[in-house]
A and B are shown apart, each in its own frame.
Chain A
């Protein structure tokens, strides 16, 4: 049954665009969305660059003419925008969304912690709850969407850190393959939060400048924010204009360290090989990779080393994080969207901010936005606590 699930709609908002067309334009023209943050409230906005969506919550609500209750956090607002876009892009009616054969699988690692000052207040004070009192959970954005759109099909919310939305897609694919659903809206959302900024900063893995993924002199990642939802459905004679197919995926745990990858890339290797096995494809079939490529010394070394060992050839790859920063739970789905755009438009995107290959590996990423005809792409996402996931897409 592999190969029968198509992506028929995409909703996406990030630092390089507010919809799929704008994102495609930015990717094609190598436009980087990483900047000094304007909206974010954090001491670190002077020290680090961020992939911020350059609109305040009020501006977003106005821009998209949203009518939302006051308990919508930034995470909830971004999710709502991308969710709406996705089903509209796929041309799905409200009836279709409310069918019990339409499942909704989301993911978030920050959840309502985007409103961190209010969370802190509500956690320690016994009076005057903030408007967000019921909105802090990882699942709060999903519950709001379920209620708003009266979703009746199966819902789930995944948190495997930075591979969350890739695992959400893997779960949606299984649900459709096995007949638990005919359609899925699937993806993830994370907004910038003082919580994650201080977290990554305490681990000393935030770059002082732009994330230089796969560069010899890389010095860390940029945090970003994004919401990405894909509409998946079984391919039928009615599906006409779609972005591409989700073929298979592999999930494995590196079982090495809470916040670093093993030298031998065990988890990555297992995720990639099990995705290939499930798709009945071999290493030669993959034409390019959207790599996890965070720009941290550890990730990029292990990831390139593993790609070089497994694929035994220099296949083109890039990291979409060089455009929007690391968007955490949304990053897996974001990377997959760039693969779908590349496959559909017969092109490949450049890995930005790159100068020099990692010396000991000498395996540089793709550096030019150019025409590129491909059939199969792979998208990697690795998270804290060893969670590695690899997804295969087809034109």
Chain B
């Protein structure tokens, strides 16, 4: 696990500053990478490299040609901290013909000699996968004073386009009925394969310790992770619950002892947690979208307490934390209540629940909720799924008695008209620069600070409220007279912030079409 200067300097206890620092120092790399996902996706191998790099004392060993290790050093999930120590078996034509197992054996020994790691994680590539090298066999016969791990990470077994579409649709179906939350994973992301492998190959049977939990994390990749973790530990501590470790951001020895926890808190994929449950009996709880917001966070801790057999016992602690946040939030709510708001947001897994935080927790008097569904098209989400999302979102708002008008994919002109009818326009996505084109719509950018709202804790919403109050008082939200350089470009009408440029649009369409063809049940045009 690499520790940068930013990591060390970034822990002064201010959650807001942490968010902005992460946004600037991570975001400058990560944001670009997400935009490049319009033209392709990264290798499964890079997800595995990332996950292994989070394990302290682990070295990933690429079993493939040097080119794989060359570019996997820059893994999309960790663009801010390239994986510099990434040895490789450097397979050549001879190895493709005769097999690379001997070379793998030699390289594992060499990696141990050079790095003396706690763990060597062997990551096969397309080439070693096609050649058919028996990685597990090689690992089994070696006797080294460190742990060895085999992670199936061959790049051609990546996820298909339809997996995200199906998950998105299932999410939309479950917005009103959370019991229908999707229970399957994004296949082939590489991270999942590492998690599953460490459960199967590293973890050891432990005596389960009561009220001990493991938390799946993405480390610095999640903006504001450190202060969120502090709060989670604080709330759990008040409930009499201890955090055992964060997975996979921990040591190898900690991973081995992970089964001592009574409960796993799952952030992303379920498969590893299910495997732990089957192997070691550890229960799990997944952080779903419905755990967002003050009531959602309260429910999360109640559900976790219930899983830990603390029903009733933890109630006081949870209530105390929530009440304190509500009291702190009250003054901001009163200020917000004086004005009218429009909020510009994007359609995604969590959209209705995020809107509910604005309207219910922060009590923003929202007149218009402007939802951009175009991003979903860039992710190859089908028109049918987008329709389901829009319908179900509207129904959820009606059921929750949220009175704002929902406007889907507003144009710049429409946004301009909306802005005239409210006191403030907030945007939690990356569009504010385009709204400033020609001195247009004045928008308060909350795209970075919205990360405070997704936390498994109450204080993030309070910090957000305080920040928003300060921003609204600066008078920035009126008609804007700036002309930022990025507002002067012409952008694609649908895929903002992609430039209006034939090369970009053709490459995007090319990727979208070719990727669609890889979906099961699709014809060569990506149609089902």
Q: Do A and B interact?
A: no
